[in-house]
Amino acid sequence: MWTPVKLRPKMLLGYTVPIAAYLIVAGIPIASTVRQALDTFQEVERVQNVILNINQMSRGAQGMETSSRGYLADADPAFIEEYHRALELFHEASESIEPLIIVSEQQERLEKLREIKVSSDAFITKIIRLVNEGKQAEAVELFETGIGIELGNEFEKIYQEFSRTEKQLLAARTSQARAALRSLIGVLLLASLLLVSLAIGAALWISSGVARTITLEAEAIAHSATEIAVTMEQQERVVTQQASAVNQTTATIDGLNAAAHQAADRADSAAKNAREALNLTESGTAAVGETLQGMATLHEKVAAIAEQTQHLSQHTGQISSIARLVTDLATQTNMLALNAAVEAVRAGEHGKGFGVVATEIRKLADQSKRSAERIDILVADIQRAIHTTVKATREGSQTVERGVQIAQQTADALSGVENAIDEVSLNTEQISLGAQEQANDLQQILAAMNALNQVSQDSAGGIAQVRIGTQNLNEAAKHIRQIV
C-alpha cells in the first residue's frame, strides 16, 4: 500500500531536485567556459609581457645608436657607458622574451632582430675603435656610409611586424574571451529558468501537502478548543467568586499605613540623594558636550590638513610631469647638437665654430637632463613624505572619529543615567506617598485568604476538564510532529 511522503522528506526533495538539475545542466558548461576564460587571460598576460620586452629591446637598440653618435661627436667615455647599458638592456629583454614566444614566425623575427643587433654592434664597435685610435675622419666616413641607418631601418621594420602580430594575437584572444563569457551568460540564463521552474513546481507540491495536513489537524484542534471553551465558562463563574474575595483583601490593605511611615522617611532621604546625583550628572553631561564640540573642531582641522596634503600631492605630480618634459627636451636637444657636431666635422675648417657651439649646446642639454633627473628624485621623496603625511592624517582622523564616538556614547550614557535618576526620584516620592496610605489590619487579610482557599477547591473540578482538553491538543501536536 502506498504511503504518503512525510513533510520533511518532501521539503528536502523540493530543495534537492532543482539544485541537482541546475548543477547537471549548468555545472559542466560553466566549468568549461571558466577554464577557457582563464586560459585566455593567461594568453593575454603572455602577449602583454612579450610586447613589453620587445619595447625594451627597441629602447636598447635606440640607446646603442644614440650613444655611438655621441661618442663619434665628442669621444666622451660617458657615451661608452651608456652604450653598454643599452646593450645590456637589449640582451636582458631578448632573454626574457624568448620563452614567451609560441609562434614560429615570431621566433624567426626574434632571431632576425638578434642578427641585426650583432651586425649593428660590430659596426658601432668599429667606429668606436677608430675614434679611440684618433682616426676621427675615418670614423665619420664609415658612419656616413649609411650602414647603421640601414640596420636601424631594418630593425624598426621587423620590430613593427613583431608588435603588430602580437597585438593581433591579443585581439583574437580577447574576442575568444568575450565569446566564452557570452556563452556562459546564455547557459546561466537557461539554467536559471530551469531552476525557477523546478522551484515553482516543488513549492506547489510541498504547499499542497502541507495545506492538506494542516487542515486536518486544525479540525482536530478546533474540536478540542470547543471543549476547552465550555470548561472556561465554568471557570469564569469561579473567577467571579475569587474577585469578590480579592475586593475584601484590597479593602484590608488600606489599613497597613502604620508600617509604611518609616519607609516614607527613607524614601524622602533617597529622593534628596537622587536630586543631588541628578545635578552632578547634568554637570557631567555639559562637560561631555564641550568635549564633543572640541573633537568636532579637531576633526575639521584634520580634514583640512588632509585636503591641503592632497593638493600638495597634485602639485608635485605636475612638477614631475614638467621634469619629464624637460628631460625629453634635453634628449632632443642633445640629438640635434650631436647631428650638428657631425655636420660640423663634415664641413671641416669652416664648421669648427659651429661644432664648438653644438658641443656647448649638448653640454647644456646634458646638464638640463641631469637637473631634471634630480628634480624627479626630489619629487619622489616629497611624494613619499606626502603619502606618509596622508596616512598619518587619515589615522588621526580615524582616532578623532573614535574619540567622538566614545564621547557620544559617554554623553548618551550620562543622559540615560540622568533620566534613570530622575525616574528614581519620582518613584521614591510616589512610594513615600503610597506608604502613608497603608493600614495595619492583618486579621481581615487572613479571613480573605481563607475565602480564596475555599474558592480554589471549588475550581479543581473545572481544572480536570481543562486537563482532558489539553491532552487532546497534545495528541494532535504529537501527530503533527510525526508528520514533520
Angle, alpha carbons 84-87-88 (nearest 5°): 85
Lookup: cell for 303: 580634514
- Which pLDDT score, from 0 to 100, does residue 85 have? 93
CATH architecture of the domain 7-218 equals Up-down Bundle (1.20)
- Which pLDDT score, from 0 to 100, does residue 439 have? 47
137: left (phi over 0), alpha (psi -120 to 50) or beta: alpha
- Which pLDDT score, from 0 to 100, does residue 112 have? 92
- Which pLDDT score, from 0 to 100, does residue 331 have? 84
Lookup: cell for 414: 550620562
**Which residue's C-alpha cell is 477547591?**
457
Helix H or strand E segment including 189: helix 147-253
* Spatial distance between the Cα atoms of 365 and 337, rounded to a whole number of angstroms: 9
- Which pLDDT score, from 0 to 100, does residue 72 have? 84
How far lies 432's CA from each of 23, 37, 332, 427, 439, in Å?
74, 81, 99, 9, 14
Name the residue type at position 437. Answer: E
Q: What is the DSSP secondary structure assignment for residue 393, as one 8-state letter?
A: H
Q: What is the DSSP secondary structure assignment for residue 254, as one 8-state letter?
A: T
Nearest to 358 by CA among 333, 326, 332, 325: 333
Model pTM above 0.75: no
141 HSE (CA, 13 A, CB side): 6
Contact 358, 85 (CB under 8 A): no
CATH of 260-438, one of 3.30.420.40, 1.10.10.10, 3.40.50.410, 1.10.287.950: 1.10.287.950
Phi and psi (nearest 5°) for 69? -65, -40
Contact 440, 259 (CB under 8 A): yes
Domain residue ranges of the chain, discontinuous segments joined by +: 7-218, 260-438
Cβ neighbors of 101 (< 8 A, separation 6 or more) are: 50, 107, 110
Nearest to 401 by CA among 480, 305, 295, 472: 295
> In 209-244, which positions are buried (b, 16+ CB within 10 angstroms) versus exposed (e)?
beeebeeeeeeebeebeebbeebeebeeebeeebee
**Which residue's C-alpha cell is 650638428?**
340
Cβ neighbors of 410 (< 8 A, separation 6 or more) are: 288
**Could you check whether 7-218 and 260-438 share the same CATH topology?**
no
Contact 414, 284 (CB under 8 A): yes
Contact 190, 449 (CB under 8 A): no
- Which pLDDT score, from 0 to 100, does residue 88 have? 92
What is the secondary structure of 103-136 as a DSSP string?
-HHHHHHHHHHHHHHHHHHHHHHHHHHHHHTT-H
Mean pLDDT by 10 residues, the chain (484 residues): 61 73 72 76 84 89 88 86 92 90 88 91 90 88 87 90 87 82 80 77 69 63 60 62 60 59 68 72 73 74 74 75 78 81 79 79 82 80 77 75 74 70 70 62 62 62 64 69 64
Q: Give the total residue count for the chain.
A: 484
- Which pLDDT score, from 0 to 100, does residue 361 have? 84
- Which pLDDT score, from 0 to 100, does residue 265 have? 74
* Spatial distance between the Cα atoms of 61 and 68, rounded to a whole number of angstroms: 11
**Which residue's C-alpha cell is 519620582?**
426
Name the residue type at position 334. Answer: N
